[in-house]
Amino acid sequence: MSEGQTLLAIDQGTTSSRAILFSPGGDVLDVQQKELALHYPQKGWVEQNPDDIWNDTRECCTKILEQCAALPAAIGITNQRETTIVWDRETGVPVYNAIVWQDRRTADYCDGLKEQGHEEMISGKTGLLLDPYFSATKLSWILDNVEGARVRAEAGELAFGTVDSFLLWKLTDGAVHATDITNVSRTMLYNIREQKWDEELLELFNIPASLLPEVRDNVSDFGSAFDGIPIGGMAGDQQAALIGQGCLKPGMVKSTYGTGCFALMNIGEAFKKSENRLLITVAYRVGGQITYAVEGSIFVAGAAIQWLRDGLGLFDDAAESEALATSVPDNNEVYFVPAFTGLGAPYWRPDVRATITGMSRESNKAHVVRAALEAQAYQTLDLIGAMEKDGGYDADVLRADGGLVANEFMCQFLADMLQRPVEVPKVVETTAWGAAVLAGVQVGVFESLQAASAQWLAEHRYEPKMAVSECEALYGGWKKAVDTLLSN
């Protein structure tokens, strides 16, 4: 490993755009961040302004570079994954707002395709389920509903990409229209077994091939930006976190608690079809060698705490949620199923909405807040059992990251419900660090992903303390609340 070579990570997320400067040891040297607005033009629709995504990202990077004594060795990019953008190949101007991964406008379209019997074919090729979550139906919607978009696309005038691809285009002044294999594996247009854009899927969703970016390894030459700094790595945010958490061996699991909750288990080099309605996705590909992961996606995690703060006004700062949760001895049989945008894995019910059950006269806001935090553990437990069956490995430890891991009550309850240790890393910016590691491998700062992961250290380790019988009783209450919601 070379000493003294910094790495710049672009971390473009759902609620903010950030740039983070790392030392080769993973120390955060500088952070710049700008909040990113979400727009809700109709019920179930979620959009962002692509120009805001780009301008905020550029501003964050520029502020860091202005303070650097020397240019970073490389840039890595990580991003919200399925969010879909279409832009003009000549001008770079988007034809429509970015349709965010949370958006549900194509739910009826997906239902129609399911009724026609297409889901099994789609899942067998992409590892994904037929859901509005992914990019294909969002892209199809733009082509069908933005005036002139389909004609221009078929004429080769437009480009499609997820956020990584759009940022790369902008960073390289339109010189590079490419993406990495982790992001493309979330489009529902890419065959992750044969590792190519799939003609049958393109035909099904009526997508012209001329729109599509080139697909590259996660460690690759993606061009350069800001006066020649090489862009050496790209990965979707959850795969970047898997790398940043050092989960490079089959059976290792990371779970990120941000806006949503995403758990990934490394399952090695062989594609395995899920039998439990989870997702099979590309974990990373380096030097042409692919590694797969099984993923469980929960649509709402930290966003539930944000709603309690902003929507209900139960507290002023998210950090207060822990004190409220611990101010009562238990949840008083209150359960909060935070299905604001539907239920993700393993249920996949985009039609249901959030519910709070078990309320009585003695229930108070502390019980509701506690139930929202406990829900993160229940949702994770739903996932882990299914992941172990699909992946064929036991998850001995869960490596957790994301904003919610600052909440010690949540982490301890997570360890209790899972009945296994939960480790929180010393380098808390695991997603951005994963992108930095990929870029560092490309330029020789690290010899390999494995060499970088050897530096991983735990800051906190939570051991299970709750009796198994108590865990089972609590989880039974959760399952009853979910069943009640699904039956309505």
Question: How high is the pLDDT of residue 3?
Answer: 38
* pLDDT tens sequence for the chain (488 residues): 333 489 999 999 988 999 999 999 899 999 999 999 999 999 889 999 999 999 999 999 999 999 988 899 999 999 999 999 999 999 999 999 999 998 999 999 999 999 999 999 999 999 999 989 899 999 999 999 999 999 999 999 999 999 999 999 999 999 999 999 999 999 999 999 999 999 999 999 999 999 999 999 999 999 999 989 999 999 999 999 999 999 999 999 999 888 888 899 999 999 998 988 899 999 999 999 999 999 988 888 888 999 999 999 999 888 899 999 999 999 999 999 999 988 887 887 878 999 999 999 999 999 999 999 999 999 999 888 889 988 888 888 999 988 899 999 999 999 999 999 999 998 888 999 999 999 999 999 999 999 998 888 999 999 999 999 999 999 999 999 999 999 87
Question: How high is the pLDDT of residue 181?
Answer: 97
Which domain CATH number covers 104? 3.30.420.40
Distance of CA 450 to the CA centre of its chain: 22
Dihedral of alpha carbons 464, 469, 474, 480, sign: positive
Question: How high is the pLDDT of residue 345?
Answer: 79
Q: pTM above the 0.95 mark?
A: no
- Which residue intervals of 259-398 are DSSP H helices? 302-310, 320-326, 365-391
Any idea how long the chain is? Answer: 488
Q: Is residue 403 part of a domain?
A: no
Q: Is residue 179 part of a domain?
A: yes
Percent of the chain with pLDDT over 70: 99
Q: Is residue 323 part of a domain?
A: no
Q: Is residue 302 part of a domain?
A: no
Q: Is residue 476 part of a domain?
A: no
89 closest CA partner among 171, 11, 170, 29: 170
Number of structural domains, the chain?
Answer: 1
Cβ–Cβ < 8 Å for 388, 394: yes
Distance (Å) of CA 166 to CA 159, 171, 363: 9, 9, 48
Question: How high is the pLDDT of residue 1?
Answer: 33
Owning domain of residue 59: 7-237
Cβ–Cβ < 8 Å for 469, 26: no
Question: How high is the pLDDT of residue 261?
Answer: 87
Q: Is residue 418 part of a domain?
A: no
- Residue-wise pLDDT tens digits, 125-178: 999 999 898 999 999 999 999 999 999 999 999 999 999 999 999 999 999 999
Cβ–Cβ < 8 Å for 163, 240: no
How big is the chain by its Cα radius of gyration, in Å?
Answer: 22
Tokens of 52: 């805001």
Question: How high is the pLDDT of residue 69?
Answer: 85
Burial of 437 (0-12, 13-18, 19+ CB in 10 A): buried
Q: Is residue 115 part of a domain?
A: yes
Q: Is residue 111 part of a domain?
A: yes
